[in-house]
Structure 1
């Protein structure tokens, strides 16, 4: 029996969200500052939660470990660090639990364990969306060297990764419910308490064909019926005991 689609959806989306969240955590590209005073027009600052890099749009040269005590002293920075790291760890824990519940090597899945793993994955997605949303809300209020501030790609990756983890965890949690767990792909709850689910093969339906009896109408257009074709209505010649096998070879008028 194949793995249910709802479990496949949860198991596939969770690692994708994990990769996006990991990229958003380590990359110094949460916001971009342009038109910095006393700097060349092509110089930009790439600020993240762990590091600040100075890059050039013409030479592609990047110099990281730029000091900025004012930026790192903001309240959002340590909170974002803690929540993003916790989100990654909880996602790994949720995947480990969910994989143990999915029937990759067994005949039937363990919906309860898969649902518990989905709860951890859902929680990790929420822990990712909180700092990303908070940083997006105040990223223009954080002091900067210039007023030309735009969000970086880490913001978009964090949003997409968090939403994917929320959807993945929700799918696994829904699969744990009785309305979906075991009621798809021919699985039904077994009356035996020792077996949670059993597969019931589809039995062929027996179609009762009704018998049609035609009543004979008195106003039939046929002047006779099969019952009248007997010897009582039509006289028949009685067979003779002798058969005349002789014939005359003389041509008669009837032969012409």
Structure 2
């Protein structure tokens, strides 16, 4: 049995989408912002950290440094541009408690679980080492992959739509604190990885779901209305042939 191209496309695209969504989930670049570092309390702390690393930055040059802030679903990072000074920490405060962030976390985790389960079922259902695939099992796997992609798209859509407002419910805390520089937030690289991975999940799952059409078997000469199964060769006119064709199973 030659594996249909749509089935191969689903088996390839679904794991690729899973890898991209997983990469987006564990990286802290869902949104990022930058601002010039001022001579505030936070700047003093940062100067101490820079000096602690032996960089020897003078107090007058601190104002020229660019502060970079990035947030993900489970981690946030702060970095000074053109330096090795970078610190990351688990998300906390208003950003962590924001219901939209919690919703995105739950949807992404559910999506990863469903996609992994769907890929396992699809691999079992394809059964490219036999003549007849388990179409029901493979189709179920494709359905789970499609659902995983839709959940990922929902999480990404909620996060992107509310990107600038996440964690801003309390202006006196978080990155809106007046003691810290004001940051203008924008989408970052992990968000684009997530969008691409979610689209690949939907595409791969759809290919798995709609590629399992029952093949047309040759009909028995003595019973034209009865299809002949290529696995059992139940028709005498076919099984008694001496020149039976042999087909190689290709995956």
| TM-score under structure 1 length normalisation | 0.68
Conserved 8 A contact 2:13-2:201: yes
- In the other structure, the counterpart of 2:249 is none
1:153 aligns with 2:185: no
- In the other structure, the counterpart of 1:248 is none
- Per the TM alignment, residue 62 of structure 1 is displaced from its structure 2 partner at its CA by 2.1
- Per the TM alignment, residue 119 of structure 1 is displaced from its structure 2 partner at its CA by 0.2
What secondary structure does 2:165 align onto? Answer: coil
Give the alignment partner of residue 174 of structure 1, picking from 207, 210, 222.
210
Inter-partner Cα distance in structure 1 for 2:187 and 2:232: 52
Structure 2, unpaired ranges of 5+ = 44-61, 169-174, 177-181, 220-224, 234-251
Give the alignment partner of residue 111 of structure 1, picking from 106, 114, 135.
135
Inter-partner Cα distance in structure 2 for 1:50 and 1:137: 19
- Per the TM alignment, residue 189 of structure 1 is displaced from its structure 2 partner at its CA by 7.8
Give the alignment partner of residue 88 of structure 2, picking from 52, 64, 88.
64
Report the CA distance shift for 1:20/1:119 in structure 2 as closer, same or farther (over 3 A): same
Inter-partner Cα distance in structure 2 for 1:193 and 1:62: 68
Inter-partner Cα distance in structure 1 for 2:90 and 2:136: 49
- In the other structure, the counterpart of 1:42 is 66
Inter-partner Cα distance in structure 2 for 1:50 and 1:43: 21
The structure whose Rg is larger is 1
- In the other structure, the counterpart of 2:148 is 124
- In the other structure, the counterpart of 1:19 is 19
Conserved 8 A contact 2:28-2:76: yes
Q: Which runs of 4+ in 1 moved over 3 A?
A: 36-41, 187-199
Report the CA distance shift for 1:166/1:103 in structure 2 as closer, same or farther (over 3 A): same
Inter-partner Cα distance in structure 1 for 2:218 and 2:107: 40
Conserved 8 A contact 1:97-1:117: yes
The 5-angstrom pairing of residues 174-253 of structure 1 reads 174-176=210-212, 181-183=213-215, 187-188=216-217, 195=229
Between structures 1 and 2, the one with greater helix share = 2
Conserved 8 A contact 2:218-2:228: no
Structure 1, unpaired ranges of 5+ = 200-256
Conserved 8 A contact 1:182-1:197: no
Q: Deviations over 1:186-214 (max 9, x none)?
A: x4487658949999xxxxxxxxxxxxxxx
| TM-score under structure 2 length normalisation | 0.69
The structure with higher relative contact order (CA 8 Å, sep 6+) is 2
What secondary structure does 1:165 align onto? Answer: helix
